Amino acid sequence: MDRATEIAEAVESSVEALVAVLERARLAQQPPVPPAQLRVLTIVAGNRHTNMSRLAEALDVVPSSASRLCDRLEATGLLRRVADPRDRREVRLLLTSASRRLLADLRERRRAALADVLGRMPAAAQQDLLRALQAFEGAAAVPEAPGSQARQSA
């Protein structure tokens, strides 16, 4: 087995462990929010101009499926639909204060769960991991298309 394949397998295994740690943190939340609904809240939190069609596109589902997810979230007080002031035909999706608290709580739980695991690692390994993750993030960044810089400044 070549070195790149061996490293890829180790990364895959680590990602599975990471997902398990994050999932345990999500399930510890009361009441637990289903992953699909949590994804909706995360998408809406990331873009304050999210409407139903943008949400459906981001989820890669048909608009009726996105609408049903929003129905459930609205019924539990985690999402509001309001007319877009720029175009009354559009419906904008907004987080409620309860959903903002839920997302902040989840972020805190996840970070605490990760800190617990990291705390069981030697300090040198933590530092190596930090450097490796930063290098991986840099390598994974999508490079700009040639000439795109020139077009932007023109």
3-21 pLDDT per residue, tens:
989 999 999 999 999 999 9
Residues 6+ apart with CB under 8 A from 41: 33, 73, 78, 79, 95, 99, 102, 103
Q: Determine, yes or no, domain membership for 125.
A: no
Instruction: Report if residue 18 sits inside a domain.
Output: no
The domain tally of the chain equals 1
For residue 2, being part of any structural domain is answered with no
Query: Residue 68 maps to which CATH number?
Result: 1.10.10.10
Cα–Cα distance, 137 to 107 (Å, whole number)? 20
- Please give the model's pTM, rounded to 2 decimal places: 0.78
Q: Give the tens place of pLDDT for each residue, 83-108.
A: 877 887 888 999 999 999 999 999 99
pLDDT of residue 150: 52
Give residue 87's domain range.
33-116
The ranges of the chain with pLDDT < 70 are 1, 145-154
